[in-house]
Structure 1
Amino acid sequence: MIYAKLIIFRLLNSLLIQTSFVPDEHWQSVEVAYKMVYGIGHLTWEWNQSLRSIIYPGFYALIFGFLKITGLDCNLLMIQLPRIFQSVMTATGDYLLFKYTQKNYSHSIANIALFLQCTSWFTLFMSPRTLVNSIDWFFTILALYFIGTKYTFVLSVAIAPLALLNIYKNGNILTSLKIYSIVGGLHLEKIENCWFKFEPSSHDGRFQLMEGMYFLKNLSVNDNDNPSLMQI
């Protein structure tokens, strides 16, 4: 019941927004989606340099594609449906915020958190807009909600392959893989909080400097380097 009310509330919120805030409302999402579906439109420089992911505008491309196929691609639906989609995502984020607070604190605190969220003037002003920041907020709440649950690992495994899309879009795939591996190794060290952590290798029981070996291996240019560096 709360979720349904939040959807209605955010839909009304989206219909009341009749202004424009920043150009990125279009350049980050619907303009890109329009070009994907209709083949015309303008892409800002960062798209030509593959600095942005197409996942977010891809949602709107699905909407535009459906409207195009069904012949319903009139101005009203082309303008309002993306905002309606974003409103549903925002309402889902509101609900997850409520459930997260309820789970970790109490029902009364969850009600207060939801009230503050729904009456925030900036959220009212920003949430229906087709900005990547709006969907970032949703995914942040989604991540918070699932932290510490048995689904965390499953979500990580499901989402992680999306990172390969950026590697694929880069012309030099090998270089990208090496950079991603080095950065990933450094983050792994930070998470473990122990670079000099000795662990047994998988095949002979010898103790190796596992994270250090991972780092050194990925600094290597030649794939035929000393196999002893592959104790990962």
Structure 2
Amino acid sequence: MSDDASADQPGPRHAAIIMDGNGRWAKSRGRPRSFGHKRGVETVRRTVEDAGDLGVRYLTLFSFSTENWSRPADEVGALFELLKHYVEADLEGLARRGVRIRIIGRRDNLGPDLIAIIDRAEARTRENAEFHLTIAFNYGGRDELLRASQSVARAAADGTLNPDTLDEAGLAGHLDTAELPDVDLMIRTSGEQRISNFLLWQAAYAELVFLDVLWPDFDRQDLARAIDTYRQRSRRYGGVDAGAA
């Protein structure tokens, strides 16, 4: 297989990746988990460039889940510092390349310094449209649906929304991803085969690809392989193939 996915079939517009395996990658080398997370940030940088080159317009990365708070405090702290460092170090370069940055997830339990960095990144890149990079941080799919439901309930209570006319598009407008298209391709690295509470609504009809490669080792060829797999599948959305009997 070549490094680049073939161009004879449409590729995914929106790809989402569960970046799994940093800790195991570090452990196999006798290093702390934080070392694996740091190497994983380098993979993020490569993947953002590779995704754009391979025709992906929207890339959403699962960085820190609402369940990750149960991890050791030093590891949680390291993950927070890595997000700060990545945004601060890469923001201007991403902005110049036309990348729009969004950070989705809960913010009510994040520190003011991190919120300020997130706000600055989103404001700096708000007018960009060449490529859309979304980082799910302090995010959980069930938590997102709960917050969206609370938002709908408040709108109904104050009379700005009629629950009887609410449709799927209306509910989607209350999600963190209101401005994004649904996920076409969801990739998980490390060999695990579950979606771990990631984009439950948005990935309802996503094609799932599980790769037996740890995230720090994920490269352009792996991404191209996942895109090739996506292109070989028939997306029927509950229907049948046009040529089926």
- Flag the structure with more relative contact order, 1 or 2, with Cα contacts below 8 A and sequence separation at least 6: 2
- Using structure 2 for the length normalisation, give the TM-score: 0.26
Q: Which has the larger radius of gyration?
A: 1
Report the structure, 1 or 2, having the larger strand content.
2
- Using structure 1 for the length normalisation, give the TM-score: 0.27
Report the structure, 1 or 2, having the larger helix content.
1
